[in-house]
Structure 1
Amino acid sequence: MEDLFRSFWWLLFPLAAFAFGAWDRWLAYRRSREQLELIKTYATQGKEVPAELLKRIQEQEDDDEESDWSGLGRRRRRNSYRRYRHSQRDDIRTVIFTGALSGAFFIASETSLINGTEGPFRLVALILVCISGATLLSVLVSSRFRDK
């Protein structure tokens, strides 16, 4: 059992994501059930449900339907994008950072200060070079077609 945990420790991350996703769905279910109970209370008293309450419930439903893995609704994603518009300079900074990091991993794999890490460090360096190259290509293409 101890060896199983050592071999598959990384499975804790997807299992935790699954657990948090289930917890989020259960909270969303409880929220919708409580909102339905509130509407039923208004109906049994013969009162009209306030338009502001119905609008708020509809917005929450739209956000739940349009949410993605990040848990953000469409409107919140749009607002967060407006607050954080990254520029071409940020992409160039990413290219430089990932390129330098890949160089550091390659040097670490060549000097082999830690035994047995030559192969994994080369793999990480290769992945970072690919990310850096893809980001650089994206910068070049976006600068070429920015005005069009």
Structure 2
Amino acid sequence: METLFYQFWWLIFPIGFGIMGAYNSYLGYRRQRDALNLIKTYAEKGQEPPEALLKVLQRPLEDNDWDGAPATSRRPTNYWSLFGLFTALSAGFLGSRFVIGDLDPGAVTAFSIVGFVMGAVAIWALISALTSRRGG
């Protein structure tokens, strides 16, 4: 049983992110449910609910980031820096294939796959940088 934790320790990260996502969805559901209950209370009294309360229901659940800030308040992504980062990573992984090829021939395939995936992400970042609007 102890070797199970040594071999699969990395699973804690995807499981943790899944739990955080589920909890965030639950909090969004509770926020919407509580707003609806407040609107029902106003309707039973015959009063008009405040506009801020109605805006809570108009905002989609997935419009929130982890910290609860609306997605529109986030800074725009700098795709040029992502392009540079993933181009350098791709070149590093593809170049290291030749260095480790003599030491471990099986690792050449793994480094090639990682290098090509990083290259694909670099191409995506380049396309996004060229097609994104300037000035945010």
Instruction: Report the TM-score when normalising by structure 2.
Output: 0.64
Equivalents in 2 of 1:139, 1:3: separation in Å?
Answer: 40
Equivalents in 2 of 1:30, 1:101: separation in Å?
Answer: 46
Q: What's the counterpart of residue 84 of structure 1?
A: 77
Q: 1:44 to 1:119 in 2, by over 3 A?
A: farther
Instruction: Report the TM-score when normalising by structure 1.
Output: 0.60
Is the contact made by 1:106 and 1:125 (CA closer than 8 Å) also made in structure 2? Answer: no
Tell me the C-alpha RMSD between the 2 structures: 3.6
Q: Deviations over 1:84-114 (max 9, x none)?
A: 2423x7524531343124434653x3575xx
Q: What's the counterpart of residue 96 of structure 1?
A: 88
Is the contact made by 1:98 and 1:129 (CA closer than 8 Å) also made in structure 2? Answer: yes
Kindly indicate whether structure 1 or structure 2 has the higher relative contact order, using CA contacts under 8 Å at least 6 residues apart: 2
Q: Deviations over 1:50-104 (max 9, x none)?
A: 2342133211xx2x2568xx769xx72x664x722423x7524531343124434
Question: Which letter maps to 1:83?
Answer: P
Equivalents in 2 of 1:10, 1:2: separation in Å?
Answer: 14
Is the contact made by 2:87 and 2:118 (CA closer than 8 Å) also made in structure 1? Answer: yes
5+ residue gaps, structure 2, are: 132-136
**Quick one: percent identity of the two aligned structures?**
31
Q: 1:46 to 1:24 in 2, by over 3 A?
A: same
5+ residue gaps, structure 1, are: 113-117
Equivalents in 2 of 1:131, 1:21: separation in Å?
Answer: 26
Q: What's the counterpart of residue 128 of structure 1?
A: 114
Is the contact made by 1:99 and 1:128 (CA closer than 8 Å) also made in structure 2? Answer: no
Q: 1:127 to 1:20 in 2, by over 3 A?
A: same
Equivalents in 2 of 1:48, 1:33: separation in Å?
Answer: 18
